[in-house]
Amino acid sequence: MDWGAFETAWHDHGCRVLSGLAEACPGERLYAAAFHLFYMDDVQILSPALAANTEAAVREDGGYSTRFVPSEWGWDVLDAASGAMSPWYRRLTEEYLASAATEAEQDAALSALEEAHDAAMAKVCRAMTATARRGGVHRSLPSGFVVAVLEGQRGDEEAGLIRESVDPRVLPTVPELAEYLRRLEEA
């Protein structure tokens, strides 16, 4: 797999979809985008969902906040981005999983694919954040806009995925995310 081309494709499709969303919703203030709903089994890997949210859509109740819970965001699945990446995920399935004959080979292939995919998605997040902060996605995105992997389904791994997907120089500029990460790491 050409991981550099994969990352570029995700970056370009993701930025295009976010730009379209910002253009279609001029009165909304998008503050973040996230990749979530990662899915892989011993037969296939599917594209994660790209989600986005606005300040107005954040709900807070008794200490619970939806700010970093993409499944509860205004746009929890931006289908255009995932759909555009489907051919890449078919190729990943073929390259990593199709040739694994034994259970041990399947386990090794799954582990290698998950590690490579997580690393690639972290790079995509960092690149999309940098592009957005330079004004390269849409002029209405705030200077504190961030893209991260927010994968609550992965439990104890979520904090590490956030740390990998958000540049350490960016994290302090998003205090709510830094606080969310601190709470995850303390739990």
Each residue's pLDDT tens digit, 106-156: 899 999 999 999 999 999 999 999 999 999 999 999 999 999 999 988 888
Say if residues 77 and 55 touch (Cβ distance below 8 Å).
no
Nearest to 150 by CA among 19, 38, 36: 36
Each residue's pLDDT tens digit, 28-79: 999 999 999 999 988 889 999 999 999 999 999 998 999 999 999 999 999 9
Rounded CA gap, 111 and 76, in Å?
27
Helices (H), ranges, the chain: 3-24, 79-92, 103-133, 158-165, 175-186
Say if residues 148 and 52 touch (Cβ distance below 8 Å).
no
pTM attached to this predicted model: 0.95
- Residues with Cβ < 8 Å from 107, sequence gap 6 or more? none
